A and B are shown apart, each in its own frame.
Chain A
Amino acid sequence: MNKLLPSLLLCFALSELSPAYVLEGGKLQSSPTNIQMKLSSTAGSLSNPPAFPLSDGSTSWEQVFTASANIWNAVMANMRLTTSPSPATNLGTQDGINEAYFGTSVGGFNLDSNTLGLTAFYSDGTTIFEADIAFNSNYPWNSYRGPLLSNGVFDFRRVAIHEIGHVLGLDDINGTNPPAIMDLVVSNIDTLTADDIAGGQFLYGAVAKIAGEADIENPGFVQSREAQSRIGLDGNLRVLYNIFSAPGATGYSGSTLWILDGNGRFRASGTPQIPASTGFGSALNGKPDSLVKGQASGNTTVAFLFPGRTSFGIWTYNLAGALISAAIYGPYANTLIQDIRFSPAGKMIVVWSSAAFGGTANAAWTLNEFGGIETIAGPFGPYAGTVLGKVNLGPDNLQRWFWNSPPIDVAPGPTPSTLAIWSLNASGQVTSAVQY
Chain B
Amino acid sequence: MRDLLKKIWFAVSFAACLGDQAAYSNTDPSSEPFPNNQFSEAQTNVGNDGNIRVLWNTFTSPGAAGYTGSILWILNKNGNFLSSGTPAVPGSIGFGQVSGVRPNILVKGQASGNTTLAFLFPGAALFGVWTYNSAGNLVSAVSYGPFAGTTIQDLRFATNGKIIVVWAPSTPPGPNEAWTLNEFGGIETVAGPFGPFANTFLSEVDLGGDNQQRWLWNSPRVNGNPGASPELLTIWTFNVAGQVTATAVYGPY
Q: Is the pair B208, A209 in contact by a Cβ cutoff of 8 Å?
A: no
Q: Of the candidates A225, A264, A422, which one forms a contact with B39 in the assembled complex, judged by CB atoms under 8 Å apart?
A: A225
Check if B64 sits within 8 Å of A395, measured CB to CB.
no
B45 to chain A, nearest CB (A): 5
Q: Give the size of the chain B interface in residues (CB under 8 angstroms).
A: 64
Say yes or no for B26: interface residue by CB 8 A criterion: no
Closest-CB distance, A204 to chain B (whole angstroms)? 13
One of A6-14, A40-48, A228-236, A273-281 contacting the partner? A228-236
B152 interface residue (CB < 8 Å to A): no
Interface centre among B39, B48, B204, B236 (most CB of A within 10 A): B204
A423 touches B77 (CB 8 A): yes
A3 CB to nearest B CB, Å? 36
Count A-B contacts at CB 8 Å: 170
Interface size in chain A (residues, C-beta < 8 A)? 63
B138-146, B167-175, B221-229: which lies at the interface: B221-229
Contact (Cβ within 8 A) A396 B229: no
The verdict on A250 contacting B226 (CB below 8 Å), with A209-B253, A226-B40, A411-B100 known, is yes
B162 interfacial by beta-carbon distance below 8 Å = no
The segment from B13-21, B88-96, B242-250 found at the interface with A is: B242-250
A385 contacts the other chain (Cβ, under 8 Å)? no
Interface contact A248-B75, CB-CB below 8 Å:
no
Query: Chain A residues near B8 (CB, 8 Å)?
Result: none
- The digit string for B85-125, where 1 denotes a CB below 8 A from any CB of A, is 00000000000000111100000000000000000000000
Q: Smallest distance from the beta carbon of B228 to chain A beta carbons, Å? A: 5
Given the interface pairs A225-B41, A229-B206, the reply to whether A216 lies near B79 with Cβ below 8 Å is: no
Give the nearest-CB partner of A409 in chain B.
Answer: B43
Contacts of A286 in B (CB 8 A): 226
Across the interface, which residues of B come within 8 angstroms of A287, CB to CB?
226
Question: If the complex has contacts A225-B40, A225-B156, are A213 and B50 also in contact, measured as CB distance less than 8 A?
Answer: no
Chain B residues in 8 Å Cβ range of A396: 50, 77
Residue positions of B touching A, CB distance < 8 A: 39-41, 43-46, 48-50, 52, 54, 57-59, 62-65, 73, 75, 77-81, 99-102, 156, 159, 203-204, 206-210, 212, 214, 216, 218, 222-230, 233, 235-237, 245-248, 250-253
